[in-house]
Amino acid sequence: MRFLLVFFVFSIFISTNLFSQNIDNEKLIKSTITQFFDAMRKSDSTAAKKLFYKDASLKTVMTKKDGTLMVQKESINELLKAIGTPHKEIYDERILTWDIRIDGALASAWCDYAFYLDEKFLHCGVDAFQMVKKDNEWFILDITDTRRKTNCEATATNEIDSVMNRWHHAAAVADEDVFFGLMTSNADYIGTDPTEHWKRDELKKWSEKYFQRDSAWDFKPKKRIVYFTANGQYAWFDELLDTWMGDCRGSGVLVKTVDGWRIEQYVLSMAVLNDLTKGYIKLLDEYKKK
C-alpha cells in the first residue's frame, strides 16, 4: 500500500512537471514566431535570420484556378532578402489562432493568419510551423503556408477572438507582459466588486501578487459575440466565462492600433440565475447589517 501511495505521488509530480514544462515551451515557441513577424514588420532581416535553424525550408501550398495543386518552394535567403529590401508598406502578418503540439525537441504550431500591407487586407490562410529546440531555444525549421482570398469574412472577428483568448490565457499562465501588453495604457478594468474600478497600471499594481504565482486566475471563454463600428476602428463584445466563481459575464471595448487590436475597457460581472436572485439579495442585506 505504501509503495502504491509513493508511486501515485511520484506520478502526480511527473505529470505536473511535464505540464509546467509544456507551458514554458509554448511561451518560448510563441515568442520565436512573434519575434519573426515583428522583424518582418520592422524590415529587420538580421533579427529574422537568427530565428531559423540551419537548412530551414519554406513552402506555400496553393490551388490554381484550374483546380490543380501547386507547391511553391522558396529559400529562406529569398524571404530574408524580401524582408530586408526597403519598401514603403509594412508587411503585417497577424496570427489569429494558435495550436501547438510538443514532443521533446520537436514542435508544430498551426496558426490561422491574416496578411496586410499596412492596413490593406491581402489574403488569409494557415501557417504550419515546424520548430526544433536547441540549447533551450526554439528555432523555425520549416514554414508551410496556405494563401487564399476566399472564406476570410470572419478574419476581423478572429482577430478579436485571438486577442481575447491570448489575454485570458496570459492570466492563466501568469504572463504579466502579454496580459497588460494587450491593454491600452489608459484601459479601464471593472471587476465584480463595487470597489473594483482600475486603470491598467492600477490593476497591474493590485494584481502583482497574483502574477507572481503559476496562475493569476483562469477564466475560460465559453461563448463570445463581437460587434464592430461602421469604420472598423472599434469593436465591442460580450462573452460567457467559466470561472472559479461559476459562470461570469465579460464585456468590453477594443480599439485598433498600429500594434493591432487592444483592450480599452473590460467589465467582469457574476451571472446570477434569476431563481437565485432573492437569496442573493438576502445575503447582501445580511452582510451589510454586520
CATH architecture of residue range(s) 155-275: Roll (3.10)
**Contact (Cβ atoms closer than 8 angstroms) between residue 207 and residue 216:** yes
The domain segmentation of the chain, as residue ranges, is 2-146, 155-275
Query: Within its chain, how far is the Cα of 114 from the centroid?
Result: 14
* Digitized pLDDT (tens) for each residue of the chain, 290 residues in all: 554 444 444 444 444 454 456 678 998 999 999 999 999 999 999 999 999 999 999 999 988 888 888 999 999 999 999 999 998 888 989 887 788 999 999 999 998 888 888 877 788 899 999 999 999 999 999 999 999 887 775 567 878 888 999 999 999 999 999 999 999 999 999 999 999 999 999 999 999 999 999 999 999 999 999 988 877 789 999 999 999 999 999 999 999 887 789 999 999 999 888 888 888 888 888 888 87
Q: What is the pTM assigned to this prediction?
A: 0.54
Distances (CA, A) of 59 to 35, 96, 128, 219: 20, 20, 10, 37
C-beta atoms surrounding 285 within 10 Å:
9
> What is the domain class of 2-146 according to CATH?
alpha beta
| pLDDT number for residue 162 | 86
| pLDDT number for residue 156 | 75
| pLDDT number for residue 53 | 96
Judge residue 84's burial from the number of C-beta atoms within 10 Å of its C-beta, 0-12 exposed, 13-18 middle, 19 or more buried: middle
| pLDDT number for residue 154 | 58
**Contact (Cβ atoms closer than 8 angstroms) between residue 161 and residue 224:** yes
| pLDDT number for residue 210 | 95
DSSP string over 100-117:
EEEETTEEEEEEEEEEEE
Cell numbers at 70, concatenated:
501547386
| pLDDT number for residue 3 | 47
How far apart CA 26 and CA 20 sit, in angstroms, is 10
